[in-house]
Amino acid sequence: MIPKIYYQIQFEILEENYDIAVALLSTFPITGIEEGLDELTVTLTHGIKPEDVSADMIATLENVGIKATIKEILDIVEQNWEKQWEESLQPIKVTDDIWITPSWKKEEVQGKYVIIIDPKMSFGTGYHPTTRMVCRLVEESVTPQSQWLDVGTGTGVLAILAVKAGASSCLGFDIDEWSIENAKENVTINNVETKVSIIQHDVAAFPYENYHGIAANLYRNLLLPALPSFFKALSLHNGILIVSGILVYDADEIITEAEKQGFILDLKLIEGEWCAIRFSLRM
């Protein structure tokens, strides 16, 4: 049998635009998206050629303000994608106590909090520096029987960690349908269905209630307008806000705007070009 030929398009896209870019590119006939450093590689469905879709992809991204250029176009021979992808995923040590691992590697790790995350192939592993930093801050900040909110839950890793670290409940939400499906699967794998709820919702329209803690791993353009809602949702319990998805050169702006709302800077972590920040409330 003659092996099938697939085409890949490598786009240069800033990392802070990945979430929106992935959601938009996933509407095209593709089989997967791989994240690199300021680069997304899209594998087209068999029979689809780059010239059939590349211009429309660029136009779709530019329509929402995302600058994208084509770095390279590759043709590749059919392989056992799933097997290669699974072999590429390894357990991640976040702290001495926290490990994030795919289910097929869980027997290889031991820790106080072993979080099993089986991400969708098309959306990568989720082991981003911002995820690791927020995990550290969540572990330090969760108190027994507290109620948490995970804004932009993605794979559900932060919501799962919150309840494993002692929270009585955590509600996670995301606007992306595939992320919701994946997060629910991971909640089941980790046996925390009674404490973690996952729903689909938009950050701006979400009906924020009262929480002891909020973890929001978002980007600047989503974080800034949500700060007043976060403050109100945490006011009753004098709660904790943990934010990330922030490039280091945007950190001062986030801190300034948060302080205007009544937050107090507690701690800032930096890893590479990314940072995570924890705030308490000025009451």
Whether residues 217 and 160 fall in one domain: yes
Q: Which domain holds residue 32?
A: 5-79
Whether residues 59 and 143 fall in one domain: no
The residue with greater pLDDT, 7 or 142, is: 142
Beta strands 69-77 and 98-101 are unpaired
Whether residues 38 and 116 fall in one domain: no
Is 84 a member of any domain?
no
Whether residues 269 and 156 fall in one domain: yes
Whether residues 143 and 268 fall in one domain: yes
Whether residues 50 and 174 fall in one domain: no
Which CATH number do you get for residue 132? Answer: 3.40.50.150
Give residue 124's pLDDT: 43
pLDDT digits (tens, 9 = 90+) for 6-39: 889 999 999 888 878 888 888 888 877 888 888 9
Angle between helices 220-235 and 251-261 (to 10 degrees): 30
Give residue 193's pLDDT: 96
Q: Is the pLDDT of residue 218 over 90?
A: no
Give residue 283's pLDDT: 64
Give residue 220's pLDDT: 85
Number of domains in the chain: 2
pLDDT digits (tens, 9 = 90+) for 98-130: 999 988 888 888 889 999 988 764 444 546 788
Average pLDDT over residues 210-238: 94
What is the pTM for the complete model shown? 0.76
Give residue 37's pLDDT: 81
At 165, which amino acid appears? A
User: Which of residues 24, 57, 79 is at a domain's end?
Assistant: 79
User: Which of residues 79, 101, 116 is at a domain's end?
Assistant: 79
Whether residues 190 and 127 fall in one domain: yes
Q: Is the pLDDT of residue 2 over 60?
A: no
Q: How far apart are CA 211 and CA 199, in angstroms?
A: 16
Q: Other CB atoms closer than 10 Å to residue 29's CB: what's the count?
A: 11
Whether residues 114 and 234 fall in one domain: yes
In 3D space, the residue among 200, 37, 227, 1 whose CA is nearest the CA of residue 124 turns out to be 37
Whether residues 131 and 204 fall in one domain: yes
Whether residues 16 and 93 fall in one domain: no
Q: Is the pLDDT of residue 89 over 80?
A: no
Average pLDDT over residues 59-68: 92
When the pLDDT of each residue in the chain is averaged and rounded to a whole number, the result is: 89
Whether residues 17 and 105 fall in one domain: no
Is 140 a member of any domain?
yes
